Amino acid sequence: MSLSKPTASHNGETADITLKVAAVPFDTQWADVSRNIDNASATLDRIEPGTDIVVFPELFTTGFIVDPQLLDEIAEPCDGRTMRWAAAMARKYNFAIAGSFLARHNGEYLNTAFFIEPSGKATFYDKRHLFCLSPEARLYGQGHNEMPVVSFRGWNVAMIICYDLRFPVWCRNDSQRYDIMLVPANWPTARGFAWHHLLVARAIENQTPWVGADRSGSDDYGNYDGLAEIVDAMGKTVAQPSPGNPGATLYAVFSKNQLNRYRGKLPVGADADSFSIIPKSPLSAPRTDMLE
């Protein structure tokens, strides 16, 4: 039984809805889609019962490809191999799967996050903020989607990608639109201090749990071990890897009633300034699709 189903109510509260999430610090193998999908399948087969959402890292089926020829060879459509696999796994295990993959859409290479439900409904988000110190900003297209918020098992689930974490206005939880944030990432250990404190700050200021699914292992750009982290709405770390096992899957269970009580006791949103982002170019709604 999914832990997201209502549990008994207490003290006059509505029946609680809990959500069990898993963050996978996946060791991505460079440009090897087949091996990465095989390894991800094995990981999913070991996920704990009752899990509702499993979050993989950024570009977990390819790694951060910046070679133009490899980009052309490996990039795939949003109904391609990665998404067909993810749809089949979500249906098989009855949980949602999130992560990002190297997509080709409208003639551009995109770093595209996905949230695929057991029903086959997929929501996509193209990375908005491209890292200026890497070839990403030159080779990948910038996303022009709004930050997605998906209603799933009684929770409003939002999603960004890695570097987006540095931009608080983009992640702003105005009117408490979302209840939990998923962050697939490829964030190097060398900048781990910033990663941890940004996750904590975003959780505190938005009064929302944040699930940081950073990769493990290494590539030509550095090491990634040990940064995956799940933070609650008060900014407390509730799950992170042990020093000797940086690739272990992290789990946390969150209570909707506890979240609402916390927000009610400390309603900082009522004191927040009201403003809207006016981007240089219009933002479109996140893309959705139904995958078999």
Please give the C-alpha separations between residue 57 and each of 64, 162, 213, 220, 284, in angstroms, as whole numbers.
11, 9, 5, 17, 24
Q: How many residues does the chain have?
A: 292
Residue in 58, 76, 117, 136 annotated catalytic: 58
Q: Kindly state the helix (H) or strand (E) to which residue 219 belongs, with its residue range.
A: strand 218-219
Catalytic (active site) residue 127: yes
Is beta strand 250-255 parallel, antiparallel or unpaired with respect to 108-116? Answer: unpaired
Q: Phi and psi dihedrals of 27, rounded to 5? A: -90, 90
Torsion of CA 26, 31, 37, 42, to 10 degrees: -40
Contact 48, 237 (CB under 8 A): no
Q: What CA–CA distance (Å, rounded) separates 57 from 28?
A: 9
DSSP state string for 125-172: EE-SS--TTSTHHHHSPPP-BPPPEEEETTEEEEE--GGGGG-TTTT-
Catalytic (active site) residue 162: yes
Q: What CA–CA distance (Å, rounded) separates 251 from 26?
A: 14
DSSP single-letter state for residue 183: E
Written as six digits, the tokens of 200 are 């904590």
Catalytic (active site) residue 58: yes
Residue in 20, 76, 78, 127 annotated catalytic: 127
Say which residues have a Cβ less than 8 Å from residue 178's Cβ, sequence separation at least 6. Answer: 149, 156, 157, 158, 206, 208
Q: Is 275 exposed, middle or buried (0-12, 13-18, 19+ CB in 10 A)?
A: exposed
Residue in 20, 76, 136, 162 annotated catalytic: 162
Contact 75, 104 (CB under 8 A): yes
The catalytic site residues sit at 58, 127, 162
